A = this chain, B = another copy of it.
Amino acid sequence: MGRLPSRFEARPCEKGGDVVAGKARPTTLQSIADRLGLHVSTVSRVLNGSTGDGGRAASSRTAQRIRELAHDLGYRPNPYATSLRTQRSNLIGVLVPRLSDPVLAFIYEGVEDAATDHGLSTFVTNTQDDARIQEARTNMALDRRVDGLIFADGREDTGLLDRISAQEIPFVLVNRHVGDHPAITCDNRLGGRLVAEHFLERGYENVAVIAGPSYASTAVDRTAGFTARYEEAGITIPESMVVESAFDTAGGRRAAERILRGRTAPIAIFAVNDFAAIGAAGCARDHGLMVGTDIAIAGFNDTPLAPELPVPLTSVRTPVHEMGRGAVEMLVRLLAGNTAESRLLPPALVIRESSLLD
């Protein structure tokens, strides 16, 4: 086969001109153009589809040849070159408190799914719910020139989001809302109400709440929905029976300890997430109380573990995967210059043995 003295062959490291196994440098538009005797701009136009005006990028025969060779060579555009030129990265950064919390992991799976559908790349980073780390990782994301951000770690007590907003960087919140910033969340107030209604139906009047951290809207809203519904039923839950906590099992255990040490141990505990509920269950057991018999417990999020616990856990199912997907959809709208309305997704109560006394 005759070989043309092309720029392609001139590459010093491609001895012999044939692609051999080993560190092959990726095909470029230029190399395709050279092989076909065309100009790189023609190849670019064809491979990018549109020409803007209705006109075609090339004759159908030329286009055909280009597409075939690109396919055979496994051409993949260099994203750095594209981004540099277009000033668009197609990259979005996702900040989560911690991926080891399955709720966040599932949300990120939804994000990843939807992003792939939209041709966007994503990366995720842990911020441990620490304001300094949130700041640092946000800056890191901006350094990477993300087109937009998704915050799953929003908190009311920092100015970070307002700063980002002032810089006109598109972003959405997911799982937790902050101020009026666009957010997709579960209707956590309703979720809290559903648990309250269930408890009230069963006749539990002496109840307590493991309320989670006050910086998280999820915790605040779930607690508020629960206590409001009790209020409506004419029952005011005493302040000492609403205990702030961390989101993990240890936090649930500590909170339960305070609750159960009180004079009148409650007959039912609502924990604003499943891990805290599991910690509370452990604590109850240490106090000689059998969950589902002596004390009712309900959690939130319906983690995969909830139905598998020795005493299956009543919990509120939240559409985590869909929240992740929805966050991307909202951000895509923002990136296209449109506005995005905040969304509230419906929760569903799943009743299991842990909350059924008698």
Interface size of A by CB at 8 A reads: 55
For A169, list chain B residues within 8 Å (CB).
Answer: 23
A 75-92 contacts with B by CB, 8 A: 76, 78-81, 83-84, 89
Is A16 in contact with chain B by the CB < 8 A criterion? Answer: no
Indicate if A125 sits at the interface (CB-CB under 8 A). yes
B-facing mask of A299-313, CB < 8 A → 1, else 0? 000001100111100
Residue of chain B at shortest CB distance from A121: B144
List residues of chain B with CB within 8 A of the CB of A23: 167-169
Surface stretch bound by B, among A65-73, A102-110, A202-210:
A102-110
**A310, B309: Cβ atoms under 8 Å?**
yes
Interface on A for B, CB 8 Å cutoff?
21-24, 26, 76, 78-81, 83-84, 89, 98-102, 105-106, 108-109, 112, 121-126, 140, 142-145, 166-169, 248-250, 253, 275, 278-279, 281-282, 285, 291, 304-305, 308-311
- Please state the number of chain copies in the assembly: 2
Whether B248 lies near A79 (C-beta < 8 A) is no
Residues in B neighbouring A26, C-beta threshold 8 A: 145
B311 & A253 in contact (Cβ 8 Å cutoff): no
- Residues of B contacting A304 in the complex (Cβ-Cβ under 8 angstroms): 100, 248-249
A98 CB contacts on chain B under 8 angstroms: 105, 109
